[in-house]
Amino acid sequence: MKIIQYSSHSAKDLTDIFYSSVHSIDASIYSTAQKNAWAPLPVDYDKWATRLDLKKPFILTLNNEIAGFIELEPDGHIDCAYVAPKHERKGVATKMLQHVIQTAKQAGIKELNVEASMVAKPLFERLGFIVENENEVMRNNTLLVNYSMRLSL
């Protein structure tokens, strides 16, 4: 596993990982309607290219293939953290989050925060994040649940 810096030629791959990751979540956790609200189709590659160019996520590669990505904002907010479905359960998300924690410490960031999905919440808890709130978020007229979580560094 290797963490690399974002470059714009990766935008389509990262966008595809986002969509495939969301849409592969078991329907017992998030319904099809919720997944469609979270990651609506058709895919808006231009919107995502602009977003990724701004956020400049860390990318994790596995055997020279992009396996996932994570974003760390200067204020300590972790925005996106997604793993390609074929690379789930291989430690990709853990490795990416550990990298973000180390990077934040080196940058002098004192606290990390995230709005974690029901799927991601256990990972963040394992690495020391504390749940502060359960949130109900309306997205595209559909209710989604996530968790505001913090980690003091």
What's the pTM value of the predicted model, to 2 decimals?
0.94
Per-residue model confidence as pLDDT tens for the chain (153 residues): 999 999 999 999 999 999 999 999 999 999 999 999 999 989 999 999 999 999 999 999 999 999 999 999 999 999 999 999 999 999 999 999 999 999 999 999 999 999 999 999 999 999 999 999 999 999 989 999 999 999 999
Q: Report domain extents, the chain.
A: 2-152
Beta carbons of 116 and 147 less than 8 angstroms apart: yes
Q: For domain 2-152, give the CATH superfamily.
A: Gcn5-related N-acetyltransferase (GNAT) (3.40.630.30)
Q: Which residues are within 8 A (CB) of 92 and not within 5 positions of it... i.e. 6 or more apart?
A: 1, 60, 62, 67, 68, 83, 84
